[in-house]
């Protein structure tokens, strides 16, 4: 899309920008022909081809006999149409040539007005020779927008006739937005027959239907001013390159001081960063903390705690079929004693004993396992008479659910079963956190446990059992350790991007070779990372671990703009001044860079709406860094490109300098002019062989009928597989994925999943308001609600624990009337003396009323994320449906809430980002059909990435969610420009339009995809799941995005 097309009706009533008055110069190449043509034709003066930046092919057309005849015919046709006397002196009249002959790029398919005047007028800014140093930017040529080559096929408006508005409406073809700075067909290259027609028709000769078909609703109200502004900026960069080169470096040096704050950053809390900010569980936790108390120093009960407790856990797995043997239990007991004997050392040298740090129940450290504790008390315990899941210890029922794994049950004994075999045992060492200073002591003991456990196991020489371990601190410590391993990979990615840039920009002659420019082109990306991160750290935005992914992404995306700018520069002519070339380059490509950068930045900033703080911070850091990357590319990199332009001129002069008879460097000069031992044409633009590949081979192959049929089948297979995969995507972040592959916590979670997956946590069912517990009818309502919970498939009904049920039985045993309020309230204190742990389940106010109370139900079969989500939703719905105000809670719900929030967040972010992309496409790529195809491509890529995540074992979690949002921006980049190239093409057939679009933009799309994949591919070697997930999803995004842009969309467009 370019600013050279007519402005149409802009919002607000403003008209489009007017082209400057262009003067006529005589083309020397046509001088001889003029002399033979007679007086009438001698008055028609055509610009030389370099006036409009047209290719030599244009000059050949203009200088040919047939073109001269067409010129005269066109002039006579204009005279007939205008019905004006020949005696009136005109400023100019227009002759229309097709842009296909002038340039291969769709931007060159615009209409060209060749000025004709009866007398020579002033030359425009384009016609001036090398501008003087004092020349002002106002003398810049009117920019023609971000089309790939606005010089070629430039649109020049003919001056209106005196005292009369022009009656002739001439259609102008809009310039094509340069998605990636693609080069055009080299001037003078032989075109195939279908690209060589020259035609012109007046709307007066067309039917009203045909005129309506030719005039589309286009507007360049935003595009044209931006193009002019960037042309001015390019002029300034070309005039003062050292200023624009050094200022970004100074700005980076200033902002980089923010990195000092990175050292002061606090430890990252996984719960804070990777769970929903406004999750219901956090509100439920606040209610529990406000209404219920707990005591980990005397009456510790793990399922009565409002927050996750500190603990060290050991899973013991027997080598034999069962560990219910004296020999094995003896070895487990030795392990248990050795762990309890561990003492941590404080900074002052004092010892922290386990007995000081452990959570206590009735003055004793909580046993690590009730069955092991029973065996330690009585070594002659009959292991064949153990009941499960409830076991009676010292006359008190004790739950063995979750403490033994791999169980095989025998005959029923009452509500329980005999325990025949148990393959695994859990040893849980709970630590205090509530007393002042106890939390720090517990942390030190856990760190000491982690440091010494491997040595401890080795010293015990365990023969009959295998052990794995875990602590509350393990997730955080392992996550931090994993993140440090990815830092060296950035240097490898940086090196690979440099190699790719060199390979993409290398040319076989020293004038057009951009190898050093490509090397410098990655420097603005590094400066952007330093500036963006430094600014955010100055502003106090927390730096979370996943932000370490951002430099890899920015590196891959940042070099895309470099390719665009180099390609735009290569379209200019060596004969022009540096300022003129920079102005032309910026007017062609800067708007395109702005569009692609804006869409990517918007995609990231929409991620700020997510409920996960880590993703919010990642999006803020990455979006800001991409902004600096864009800023530094149009300033710092542009300045270096201008300086390299000076090198081009000097190199060309050296090559053109005649060799002295005794000069020894002639061979060196020939090497510099490879491959054809000839100087580059100063009037010609450069072209990459890949452009020709897409035009001559890939495009025609893709438009064959058989190929189209195969592509349609391939897309149907892709879409079907993607939709099928969407139904099998797992949700949520698995805790084991926070650590590296070789972490000690991985086998722990594997063993837990293999042997302890049946029983989940105990869940609080809370009565949140004052309730008449002494009223029989009210109690029955509450019992019905509790019975509904017990009927749920994720609840084990035999393990419910409710103080009111025990209290009712207690009052019956005491022959007390429980239906009397005074009796009920007066007797409850004595009940708590006999059952002390129940007093933490009832909140009695100072007015002697029960304001809240709670029961506990045992969850089962929730090992998978899907079951966790279903259980959470169903239990909350049961609480909502009850006549009595209820609430369900467990500290694990803080993490379970991510399973319910992830889809909602993903859908919301995708919709918002898609709407933002659609608005951008409508404003800056003003073609309705193009916008619709862009929206289709975005949706198709999102479905494909989501579906194939399941095939690659990638969960839909907070990490992959933001990648889905990112893919919207990339899908826009890939599809928008291809679609617009197609709808803007003047080719007669749909196949030709598709070929032309691929010729213009196929290679830039491929460059963009490959560079981004190279930037993130090194993350595939990372040891952490989070970093590999980032690579996997980004790889799918780039693969499917490029496939849509290069294969599916071009083929589908040919069916229109």
Q: In 3-state terms, what secondary structure has residue 192?
A: coil
Average pLDDT estimate for 788-797: 94
What does the pLDDT read at residue 141?
43
The continuous run of DSSP H or E covering 421 comes out as strand 416-431
Neighbours of 654 (CB within 10 A): 14
Name which residue leads in pLDDT, 452 or 295: 452
| Whole-angstrom Cα Rg for the chain | 38
Q: Per-residue pLDDT for 415 more than 60?
A: yes
Average pLDDT estimate for 831-845: 91
Q: Whose structure tokens read 């291809």?
A: 978
Average pLDDT estimate for 519-537: 90
Task: Please state, in angstroms and rounded to a whole number, the distance separating the CA atoms of residues 554 and 850.
Answer: 58
What does the pLDDT read at residue 496?
82
What the block records as the tokens of 125 is 């800014």
Q: Per-residue pLDDT for 228 more than 70?
A: yes
Lowest mean pLDDT segment, chosen from 145-154, 823-832, 946-955: 145-154
Confidence of residue 200 (pLDDT cuts 50, 70, 90): very low
Q: Which residues 6+ apart lie within 8 Å of 112 measured at CB? A: 52, 54, 58, 96, 97, 99, 102, 153, 154, 155, 156
Looking at the chain, the number of H-run helices and the number of E-run strands are 37, 18
Going by their DSSP bridges, the two strands 850-860 and 310-318 should be labelled as unpaired
Average pLDDT estimate for 942-956: 88
What does the pLDDT read at residue 669?
53
The winner for highest mean pLDDT among 125-129, 182-186, 642-646, 752-756 is 752-756
Confidence of residue 562 (pLDDT cuts 50, 70, 90): confident
Average pLDDT estimate for 413-417: 87
Could you write out the three-class secondary structure of 652-675?
HHHHHCCCCCCCCCHHHHHHHCCC
Contact status, residue 73 vs residue 152, Cβ threshold 8 Å: no
Query: Residues 862, 866, 869, 871: is their CA dihedral positive or negative?
Result: negative
Name which residue leads in pLDDT, 124 or 929: 929
Going by the DSSP 8-state scheme, the letter that residue 1034 receives in this structure is: H
Contact status, residue 859 vs residue 761, Cβ threshold 8 Å: yes
Q: Per-residue pLDDT for 135 more than 80?
A: no
What does the pLDDT read at residue 755?
93
Closest CA to 41 of 5, 3, 18, 71: 71
Q: Per-residue pLDDT for 940 more than 60?
A: yes
Average pLDDT estimate for 636-654: 84
Average pLDDT estimate for 1023-1051: 87
Name which residue leads in pLDDT, 184 or 803: 803
Average pLDDT of the chain is 76
The winner for highest mean pLDDT among 302-311, 436-445, 1022-1031 is 302-311
Q: Per-residue pLDDT for 1027 more than 70?
A: yes
The percent of residues above 90 in pLDDT, for the chain, comes to 34
Helices (H), 208-278: 208-214, 223-239, 241-255, 270-274
What the block records as the tokens of 78 is 């204009």
Q: What is the pLDDT of residues 714-733, one digit of tens each?
A: 999 999 999 999 888 887 77
Q: Whose structure tokens read 């690579």?
A: 1031
The percent of residues above 70 in pLDDT, for the chain, comes to 74
Burial 852-878 (b: 16+ CB within 10 A, else e): bbbbbbbbbebbbbebbbbbbebbbeb
Q: Per-residue pLDDT for 870 more than 70?
A: yes
Lowest mean pLDDT segment, chosen from 596-610, 697-711, 888-902: 596-610
What does the pLDDT read at residue 682?
56
Name which residue leads in pLDDT, 771 or 146: 771
Q: Whose structure tokens read 């990455």?
A: 622
What the block records as the tokens of 82 is 């205008």
Going by the DSSP 8-state scheme, the letter that residue 1047 receives in this structure is: I
Q: Whose structure tokens read 């460097």?
A: 665
Contact status, residue 298 vs residue 362, Cβ threshold 8 Å: yes
Q: Per-residue pLDDT for 629 more than 60?
A: yes
Confidence of residue 198 (pLDDT cuts 50, 70, 90): very low
Q: Per-residue pLDDT for 187 more than 60?
A: no
Task: Please state, in angstroms and rounded to a whole number, the distance separating the CA atoms of residues 226 and 231.
Answer: 8
Q: Whose structure tokens read 């102005």?
A: 583
Quickly list DSSP for 856-922. EEEEES--SHHHHHHHHHHHHHHHHHSSS-EEEE-TTHHHHHHHHHHHHHHHHHHHHHHHHHHHHHH
Name which residue leads in pLDDT, 574 or 247: 247
Contact status, residue 100 vs residue 196, Cβ threshold 8 Å: yes
What does the pLDDT read at residue 587?
85
Contact status, residue 346 vs residue 353, Cβ threshold 8 Å: no
Q: How much of the chain is in helix, strand and coil states, percent to nearest 5? A: 55, 10, 35
Lowest mean pLDDT segment, chosen from 19-23, 694-698, 915-919: 19-23
What does the pLDDT read at residue 769?
92
What are the backbone dihedrals phi and psi of residue 6, each rounded to the nearest 5 degrees, phi first? -60, 155
Q: Per-residue pLDDT for 360 more than 80?
A: yes
Average pLDDT estimate for 770-794: 93
What does the pLDDT read at residue 1002?
84
What pTM did the predictor assign?
Answer: 0.68
Q: What is the pLDDT of residues 563-605, one digit of tens each?
A: 778 877 877 887 888 999 999 888 877 777 887 788 888 888 8
Task: Please state, in angstroms and rounded to a whole number, the distance separating the CA atoms of residues 667 and 562.
Answer: 33
What the block records as the tokens of 865 is 């994320």
What does the pLDDT read at residue 262?
77
Task: Please state, in angstroms and rounded to a whole number, the distance separating the CA atoms of residues 413 and 385.
Answer: 10
């Amino acid at each position: 899309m370019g600013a050279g097309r007519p402005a149409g009706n802009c919002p607000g009533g403003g008209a489009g920008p007017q082209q400057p008055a262009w003067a006529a110069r005589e083309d020397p190449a046509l001088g001889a022909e003029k002399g033979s043509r007679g007086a009438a034709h001698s008055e028609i003066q055509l610009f030389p081809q370099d006036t409009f930046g047209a290719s030599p092919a244009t000059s050949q057309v203009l200088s040919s006999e047939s073109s001269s005849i067409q010129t005269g015919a066109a002039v006579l046709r204009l005279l007939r149409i205008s019905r004006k006397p020949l005696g009136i002196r005109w400023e100019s009249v227009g002759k229309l040539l097709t842009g296909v002959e002038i340039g291969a790029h769709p931007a060159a398919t615009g209409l060209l007005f060749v000025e004709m005047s009866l007398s020579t007028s002033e030359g425009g800014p384009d016609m001036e020779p090398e501008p003087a140093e004092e020349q002002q930017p106002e003398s810049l040529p009117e920019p023609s927008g971000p089309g790939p080559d606005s010089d070629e096929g430039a649109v020049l408006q003919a001056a209106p006739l005196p005292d009369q508005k022009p009656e002739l409406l001439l259609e102008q073809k809009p310039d094509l937005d340069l998605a990636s700075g693609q080069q055009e067909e080299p001037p003078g290259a032989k075109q195939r027959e279908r690209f060589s027609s020259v035609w012109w028709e007046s709307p007066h000769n067309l039917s009203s239907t045909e005129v309506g078909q030719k005039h589309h609703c286009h507007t360049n109200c935003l595009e044209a001013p931006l193009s002019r502004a960037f042309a001015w900026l390019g002029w300034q960069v070309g005039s003062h390159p050292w200023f624009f080169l050094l200022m970004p470096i100074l700005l980076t040096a200033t902002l980089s001081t923010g990195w000092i704050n990175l050292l002061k950053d606090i430890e990252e809390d996984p719960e804070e960063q990777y769970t929903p900010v406004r999750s219901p569980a956090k509100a439920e936790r606040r209610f529990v903390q406000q209404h219920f108390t707990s005591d980990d120093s005397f009456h510790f009960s793990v399922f009565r705690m409002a927050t996750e407790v500190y603990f060290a856990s050991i899973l013991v797995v027997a080598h034999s079929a069962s560990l219910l043997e004296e020999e094995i239990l003896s070895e487990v007991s030795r392990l248990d004693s050795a762990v309890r004997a561990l003492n941590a050392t404080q900074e002052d040298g004092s010892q922290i004993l386990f007995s000081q740090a452990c959570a206590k129940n009735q003055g004793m450290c909580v046993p690590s396992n009730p069955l092991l504790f029973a065996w330690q008390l009585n070594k002659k315990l009959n292991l064949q008479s153990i009941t499960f899941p409830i076991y009676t210890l010292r006359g008190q029922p004790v739950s063995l659910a979750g403490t033994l794994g791999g169980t095989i049950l025998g005959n029923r004994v009452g509500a329980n079963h005999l325990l025949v075999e148990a393959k695994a045992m859990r040893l849980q060492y709970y630590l205090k956190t509530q007393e002042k200073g106890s939390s720090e002591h517990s942390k030190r003991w856990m760190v000491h446990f982690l440091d010494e456990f491997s040595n401890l196991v080795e010293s015990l020489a365990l023969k009959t059992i295998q052990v794995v371990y875990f602590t509350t601190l393990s997730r955080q410590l392992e996550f931090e350790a994993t993140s440090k391993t990815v830092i060296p990979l950035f240097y490898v990615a940086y090196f690979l991007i440099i190699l790719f840039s060199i390979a993409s920009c290398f040319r076989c002659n020293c004038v057009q070779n951009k190898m050093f420019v490509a090397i410098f082109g990655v420097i603005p990306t590094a400066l952007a990372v330093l500036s963006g991160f430094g600014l955010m750290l100055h502003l106090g935005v927390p730096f979370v671990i996943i932000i370490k992914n951002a430099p890899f992404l920015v590196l891959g995306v940042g070099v895309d703009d470099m390719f665009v700018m180099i390609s735009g520069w290569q379209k200019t002519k060596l004969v022009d001044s540096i300022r003129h070339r920079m102005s032309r380059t910026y007017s062609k490509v800067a708007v395109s860079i702005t569009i692609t950068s804006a869409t990517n930045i918007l995609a990231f900033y929409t991620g700020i709406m997510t409920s996960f703080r880590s993703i919010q911070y990642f999006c803020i850091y990455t979006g800001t860094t991409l902004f600096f990357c864009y800023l530094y590319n149009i300033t710092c990199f542009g300045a270096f490109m201008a300086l390299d332009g000076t090198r081009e001129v000097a190199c060309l002069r050296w090559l053109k300098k005649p060799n002295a008879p005794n000069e020894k460097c002639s061979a060196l000069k020939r090497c510099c002019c490879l491959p054809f031992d000839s100087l580059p044409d100063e009037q010609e633009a450069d072209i990459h062989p890949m452009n020709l590949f897409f035009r001559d081979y890939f495009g025609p192959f893709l438009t064959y009928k058989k190929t189209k049929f195969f592509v349609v089948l391939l897309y149907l297979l892709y879409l079907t597989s993607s939709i099928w995969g969407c139904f099998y995507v797992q949700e949520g972040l698995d805790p084991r994925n926070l650590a590296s592959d070789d972490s000690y916590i991985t086998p722990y979670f594997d063993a837990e999943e293999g042997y302890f997956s049946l029983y989940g946590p105990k869940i609080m069912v809370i009565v949140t308001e004052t309730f008449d517990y002494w009223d029989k009818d009210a109690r029955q309502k509450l019992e019905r609600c509790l019975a509904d919970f017990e009927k749920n498939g994720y609840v084990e009904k035999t393990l419910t624990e409710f103080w009111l049920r025990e209290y009712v039985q207690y009052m019956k045993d005491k022959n007390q009337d429980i239906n009397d309020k005074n009796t009920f309230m007066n007797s409850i204190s004595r009940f708590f003396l006999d059952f002390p742990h129940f007093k933490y389940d009832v909140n009695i106010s100072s007015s002697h009323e029960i304001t809240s109370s709670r029961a506990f139900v045992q969850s089962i079969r929730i090992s998978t994320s899907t079951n966790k989500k279903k259980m959470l939703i169903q239990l909350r719905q049961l609480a909502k449906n009850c006549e009595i105000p209820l609430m369900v809670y467990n500290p694990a719900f803080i993490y379970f809430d991510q399973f319910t929030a992830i889809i909602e967040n993903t859908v919301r972010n995708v919709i918002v980002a898609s709407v933002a992309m659609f608005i951008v496409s409508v404003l800056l790529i003003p073609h309705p059909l193009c916008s619709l195809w862009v929206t289709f491509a975005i949706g198709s890529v999102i479905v494909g990435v989501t579906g194939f995540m399941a095939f690659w074992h990638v969960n839909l979690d907070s990490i992959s969610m933001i990648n889905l949002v990112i893919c919207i921006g990339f899908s826009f980049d890939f599809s928008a420009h291809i679609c617009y190239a197609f709808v803007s093409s003047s080719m007669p057939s749909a196949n030709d339009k598709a070929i032309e679009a691929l010729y213009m933009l196929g290679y830039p799309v491929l460059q963009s995809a490959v560079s981004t994949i190279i930037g993130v591919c090194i993350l595939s070697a990372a040891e952490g799941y989070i970093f590999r997930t980032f690579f996997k999803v980004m790889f799918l995004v780039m693969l499917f995005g490029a496939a849509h842009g290069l294969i599916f969309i071009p083929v589908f467009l040919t069916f229109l």
